[in-house]
Structures are given as structure tokens and as C-alpha cells.
Structure 1
């Protein structure tokens, strides 16, 4: 595993500025600092991984699932933004394309071995490409995929269906896993320090998540893909996949940066009230609330801010735990052991496996409690009061466990809602919505210029998928 100082040096060498932007979560600048004739693959990988931070630390997705409420300015929780540009994400995919090409081309692949074996660099770039593209299609649905990034041959790429994108991504994951060899892992690997066993686990966990996400749209295929991945996924909290931030301002925790400038995000009353449950605002039923949040300054109790409203008296409400918003090095989760266990519990309940759903449910809740530092005795008390009775319990507890994993939680909520298993989550849109939304968003609208820049293919996508607004349900979630 590479030394952290080497990783820091390589990160700092990548002079790319990713600014916080409401409409681009993977960053919207994508430039190699020295513009060499053959880019350094280690720098490209660091650039891409660093660029995923905005997606992992998204504000909007955490508001969609009502973990958070806005402070004074409530427009984000009322769905003000309709158009979201994927351009920054495609910029990162272009960097990954270059890594794969450099490590495949006979003229460049020998020199590229200075930054890890060719096979392992290709595998890492391919797995990361799937992770990014999977997140993209779960946001927008139809997108350029099979013809994307081939500007020399096609400047007007077709939009592929979500089903076709999923099929392609499964194939890419299988090829990536087959590409992993016994050589050195990639240099400048912020996620795993070049450990290819961790990359293998990452790939299988993505595959499991994607397989389960097909449970409404194509359950037969979903079951096959889920079981193909099952033996290789995260198997303990020690293997949780996360973005580990550094103390330097160039790569520190975005939530800490946000709270340096303005305290505009509060715990939502919807979420806080669920976790208080049968307890009190000083001793909530769910002990994770004391790990997720801080008591309100004025009352020293847990108080959620009204969702979808302007909440300027921020001291009256609970903030996100200071372990996250006051710690520049606080990691943010990508995939966790509890998420995997809940997925296995649901798959068992659906008959996809022969495992026992109740046992896995208990293990999943326990893993979530352990992840957040809850005392084991408190976890046992909670589980005794909240036993497994069916998939709705899995859905609710998974929703709680995915706290602060906004985009992942949003996708799972849409899937559970499509299957009719969201009853215990029970999210309701606020009044007075913006952007002509009529409910909690089901997708993101394409960028405002998408129709003008690629009119024919844009129109074909909208015709096949549905109106380009926040309300249209994607193929996965119909």
C-alpha cells in the first residue's frame, strides 16, 4: 500500500480546481496541469477520484431524502434546480478513458507501467468508470454511453436507454475483474492506496448494488447479477468503502468547508422525529440520532428543522454531528457493510438466495450501530424493540443506515417506493414546490443546453423516457 505522503504529494500535483456547484456534482473543470503529450496516469486517477468528492458529499440528494433541512434559504429543499449538467462527470470519464488507452496502446503502455501494472490500472479505471456512470444514469436515466467520448467520430452521440447502460456496465465490471493481475496497483490511488483486493471488493459491491436496483425493472437479471457478486462484497465494517479526506484545504471534507462560511444545513424534522420514535428529544428511541446530530443550542434537545421551510433561527435546531462538520479529515461513506447486509436481507426475503432475512436484518442494524459508535447494549435494546417483520422494515432501517449517503439513499428510496415498500419511510414533498415539480424528484433534468447541442438525440431520449423534468420516473423505478 502506498504511503500517505506520496498520495498527498500526487494529489497536490494535480492542479485542478473543483468548485462547489449546485448543478455539477463531479466537478466542472477537468484539465491536466502541465498538458504533457502523454498524460501521467497517476495524476489522471487522482484527478478523477478527487472529482468524485462532490457527488459523495452532495447537499441536494441529502435534502431529497429529508435527512436535512435548509436554514434561511429554503429553495434547495423545494427543488429549485431543474437542469443539471453531466458535463463535469463526462470530463472525469474522459480522464479514465485516457488511462485505459495509455495502458492498452503498444506505444505508451510500457512507460505507463511506472504507475502500476497495465492490467491493474485498466481495472481500476474501468471500475471507477462504472461507479461514476452508474450514478449518472440513476440520476438522469437515458444518457450518451456507447457513443460518448468518441468526439473524433461522433460529436452527436445517441442517448442509450438505462437498461442498455446497465447491461454495458455489468460487462465492464466483469472485464475489469478479469483484468486484475498480480502486479503493482495504481499509483496515486486515493481510495485504496493501490490495494487491488480492495478494488475487487469495490467492483463486486457495485455489481451487487446494481443487481438489487433491478429488482423492480428486471428482477430475473437482477438476481443473477446479485448472486454473481455475492461472494466478493464488503464483509465487515473494516472494509467500508469511503472517501478519506486530508487536512489540506485542497482536499478536505466539503462539509467542514460549508460550515466555515454559512450554517445553512440542519437536521430535518422528518428524520429527527423518526429517530426519536417512542423515546424523547433527550433520549431518542434510536441511539444513532446522538451520533448523527448535535442537540440544539437553545434547548439542549434534539430538534429537527421543518423540512421545506426557511429556518433562520438555526440555534433552535439540531446540526449535523460536529464529528463531520467540524473535522476537515472526516471521511464520507461510499458503500458500507450495513448496506451490503441489508441488500442480502432483502435478496433473501425475495427468494433470490437461501440466506435468512431476519438474521441478516439483525446483523445489518448491528453493523450500522457499530459503524456510528453506538454501544452494543443500546443496539440490542433497539433491535429487541424493532424486530424484522418484512421488507418494509429492511427498507426503513436501510434508509436510516444510509444517512449522509444522499445519492445512494435517493436511488434506494425511489426503488422501494416503486415496489410499495416505502411505507415506514413515508416521505412527503413540502408545499410550494419550485421548477414545476409536483412531488419529490424522481430524476434530474438534463442541462438547459442539451436540446440545442444535440437536438435529434435529445428529442429521441425524451420521447422514449418521458418529459425532461423532475417528475418523470426512470425505467428502474416505474
Structure 2
């Protein structure tokens, strides 16, 4: 993270500073080794592009998809048995978050603000950077819990940041998203936006949709606050159709290709998991052909990978169903926030009574639920009116108030296929779908992890604050429940 971010230029300055100490005036060297052809004006559009290229990393993790049991490992099953404990978040801090903080700093400083308007109006750059920064911190805190936030990204000004409470992080993220939406002006749109092409209306809906999902995330920890934020985000406007879904478009080139494509280039380590596929089969789900490929051994049936096996000897690579090939082309897009996810969020909110009346509106919940299924089928390219009508008429699928949260959760699990960390977070919050850790888990308590442990660099380089967070949040173990996951 930022305490590890020492740029090459900073290192040179530190080393050369020793030599400079004997000089009478440092300014004697002010023109030495200066490239007369290099621009001194920050290029914020490049910083934005660099940050945006990190968006897929929040949704395409194989570990996240394993935790959610969307997929299972075919050969080396350590991750499926939850062997991994410590996961690093350093790259998020020194990559996209630092880029976004620089955009914020350049556009906020009266001295530099006029020099960076080539990247769009100052207000629009600030709004986009704040929304993206909130999105990345939302992802980080959902995985680790309490993390450096208020003192993060200060680089050499603070090498040992404190860990902020997740509750405080959520509070500030809500504020940041609301203020950012209001910050857009009629000036020049942002440049370097490879995600939403600088469209302020799209960015506003992205922020509101994110805030809606964040609000429901408080259903256990702080439902009163969650309800207020939920209703506010909904009234401000969220996405409702798959055409509005927020997709990151990959390119048919190595530098910008889909991560699943890269994983399958030389190895076939991941297949659709048996628990996930079994549920899809149980409801005759028409999305199966998009989510999985049939085995190549001639079997006419889809076959899921048994989850969490200690030994996969005897399971032929050609005898199981791999991730649907349409989802892992080199230029296949990846969903960052889908309309289906938003619609299932709206459905659950109405089922919980998160509305002006303060009582469950089962009619509205059912409508959002059905539309969520429809838009999910559209997102996977499998929608057909006839098969859709038959699907939602099945007893296991048809909306019923008494079983609303479970049914919504299972459909959300399907819609979030391969967006494993979000599906895992929803499982932690709701308890659905019902997942089994498998026959031979290696986690500390034999259960599916509830969080990820901090990078070991925190213990090595930030020990005082690391010890403090253990006192406030609990042991740095995968079975420690973070604030939004408290029972």
C-alpha cells in the first residue's frame, strides 16, 4: 500500500540528497539533468485510464469465484480447500487508488488545477475520481474489513497509517458518492475514460447503483442507516435494464485481454462447480449453456466439478464442464455492476420494508425479482419469452413472500456468476445459498472463509497499527467476522 509506494524519482532524490548536503545552495543545481522536452503538466487522463484498467480485478478473481462456489479447481485444489490465508491489497493502493488520489489532488490544488483541465473540467475530474475511489475502497473493505482509509495514500507523509473501522469507512463512502454526484458540472467531460466515455449521467447512475448495493450490505450491521441510504439512492436513479449494465470491454490484444481467457490459454484449471451446476439443473435454468460448456468426451450432459476435493486423480479434463466459452473470449466484456444485481437489491429492499411506508411491499418486491431474472437472462444472452415464462412459474423460482430472501439470494448468486467476491459477500450477509465447505477443508475452523487476512507486510512494517486492529476487529484469521457480517 502507500507506505510501500516509493517512486523511482523519490529514491533518486533520497540517495542524491546525501551528495547535495555539502553544497551551499541546492538551487545551484536546479537546471541540472532536466529534460527540456518533458512536460511538467500532469496528464490526469492517463492517470484515469490507468485506474480504470484495474476495474476487472475487482470482479474476475478465481479465488472469489471459488469462495462463492461458482467454480471448482480441477487439478490443484488448495484454493478450493481454503488453504490461502493472507491476501495482499498493496496493488490496489499503489495502483488505482494512488492514481485517483493524484487526480483529486491536482484538481483540488489552486496552483495545479488550471494546468490539468485538458483532462476535463476540474469538477468532473473530481467527481469521477471520487466515485471510483469509493468503488475500490468498497471492494477492499468487503474483503478485509477494517483497512487503512483516512490516513492512506499520503505516501511519505505517513508511512504507518491507522486502520479505520469498517463502519466509519462505509459512512464516508456514502458521503463521497453523494457529494461526487452533485459535483458534476456542465464543463468539459473527463478524458481518458475507457469505461463510460466521460458521460456524467452514466457516472451518476453508477454511483447511485453502487450506493444502493452498499446500503443493503448494512442489513445486518446497521439496517436503520441502510434503509435511509437505500431509499435515497433509489430516488436518485439507478440502472434497471441490462442495456444500462456497467461493462468493462476488453480488447483482442494481450495487454487488454480478459483474465479468464488468459487463464485458459495453456491450462484448464477451473470448471463450473458441481454445487452451482446442480442448482441450475434443479430449476432447468436456461442460462446453463452460457455459463458452462459441455464436456469434450462426448457426454451430452453438463458435468460440474466436485468442490473441495483433496485429490482429483481420475477426473479427466475432458469429462467436466468448463466456464462458458463466450465468457472467456479474449475480448469478452466483464460486468462491474449489472442491472440484475441492482434489481435483486431493490427486490430484497422492498421485501424488508425499506420504503416510505416502512412495511414490506411484496408486490413491488415480486416485480423487481422477476425483472431481475429477465435482465440476468439478457445479460447472458439466453432470454426467450417462452422459456422465461416457464422458468419463473416453477415452484422453486416463483416469488413467495415467506421465502423471499432465500429465492432472491439464489437468483442473485446466478446473476453474479464469476463476480465471486460480490457473490461471496452476499452469501456472508444472507446465509444463502446454502454452501458446504467440501470434504477436506484446510481453513482454521473447517468452514468457508468469512474474510481474508491482511498482507504480511502490515505485520512487518506497520506493527503498532496492525496490533491495534486485532484488538478492535478480532484475530487476523479468515473466520473472523467483519462488521457488516456480524451475526
TM-score (norm 1): 0.88
1:71 and 1:395 map into 2 onto residues whose CA distance is: 27
Note if contact 2:89-2:140 (Cα within 8 Å) is conserved in structure 1: yes
Aligned position for 1:387: 398
**1:269 to 1:119, Cα distance in 2 relative to 1, 3 A:** same
1:191 and 1:32 map into 2 onto residues whose CA distance is: 29
Residues 195-217 of structure 1 show CA distances to partners (whole Å, capped at 9, x for unaligned) of 11111011101110110000110
1:220 and 1:136 map into 2 onto residues whose CA distance is: 23
1:132 and 1:345 map into 2 onto residues whose CA distance is: 25
What stretches of structure 1 move > 4 A for 4+ residues in a row?
A: 28-38
1:360 and 1:343 map into 2 onto residues whose CA distance is: 9
**1:38 to 1:433, Cα distance in 2 relative to 1, 3 A:** farther
Q: CA deviation at 1:436?
A: 2.8
Residues 269-307 of structure 1 show CA distances to partners (whole Å, capped at 9, x for unaligned) of 0111111105xxxxxx11111211111112121110111
Q: CA deviation at 1:437?
A: 4.8
Residues 307-347 of structure 1 show CA distances to partners (whole Å, capped at 9, x for unaligned) of 1124451210011111122x111001111111111111111
| Larger gyration radius, structure 1 or structure 2 | 2
Aligned position for 2:338: 336
Q: Does 1:48 align with 2:48?
A: no
2:57 and 2:343 map into 1 onto residues whose CA distance is: 26
> Helix, strand or coil for the counterpart of 2:393?
helix
Q: Does 1:373 align with 2:376?
A: no
Residues 110-164 of structure 1 show CA distances to partners (whole Å, capped at 9, x for unaligned) of 1211111111111111000000000000000011111112234422211111000
Q: Does 1:67 align with 2:78?
A: no
Farther-moved stretch of structure 1 (403-412 vs 217-226): 403-412
Note if contact 2:41-2:116 (Cα within 8 Å) is conserved in structure 1: no
Q: Does 1:289 align with 2:288?
A: yes
Q: Quick one: which of 212, 215, 219 aligns to 1:211? A: 215
- Consecutive unaligned residues of structure 2, counting only runs of 5 or more, are 10-34
Farther-moved stretch of structure 1 (430-439 vs 174-183): 430-439
Matches within 5 A, 1:5-404: 37-91=40-94, 92-231=96-235, 232-277=237-282, 285-298=284-297, 299-309=299-309, 310-311=311-312, 312-325=315-328, 327-353=329-355, 355=361, 356-374=364-382, 375-385=384-394, 386-389=397-400, 390-404=404-418
Aligned position for 1:18: none
1:30 and 1:260 map into 2 onto residues whose CA distance is: 34
- Consecutive unaligned residues of structure 1, counting only runs of 5 or more, are 1-23, 279-284
> Helix, strand or coil for the counterpart of 1:333?
strand
> Helix, strand or coil for the counterpart of 1:113?
helix
1:429 and 1:244 map into 2 onto residues whose CA distance is: 34
Q: CA deviation at 1:56?
A: 2.0
> Helix, strand or coil for the counterpart of 2:342?
helix
Q: CA deviation at 1:433?
A: 2.3
Aligned position for 1:282: none
> Helix, strand or coil for the counterpart of 1:190?
coil
Aligned position for 1:410: 424
2:268 and 2:398 map into 1 onto residues whose CA distance is: 37
Q: CA deviation at 1:53?
A: 2.2
> Helix, strand or coil for the counterpart of 2:264?
helix
> Helix, strand or coil for the counterpart of 1:103?
helix
Residues 428-451 of structure 1 show CA distances to partners (whole Å, capped at 9, x for unaligned) of 102332353521110000011211
1:223 and 1:185 map into 2 onto residues whose CA distance is: 33
In angstroms, what is the RMSD of aligned CA positions? 2.0
> Helix, strand or coil for the counterpart of 2:140?
helix
Farther-moved stretch of structure 1 (171-180 vs 212-221): 171-180
Q: CA deviation at 1:97?
A: 0.6
Give the number of equivalent residue pairs. 439
Q: CA deviation at 1:73?
A: 0.8
2:459 and 2:428 map into 1 onto residues whose CA distance is: 26
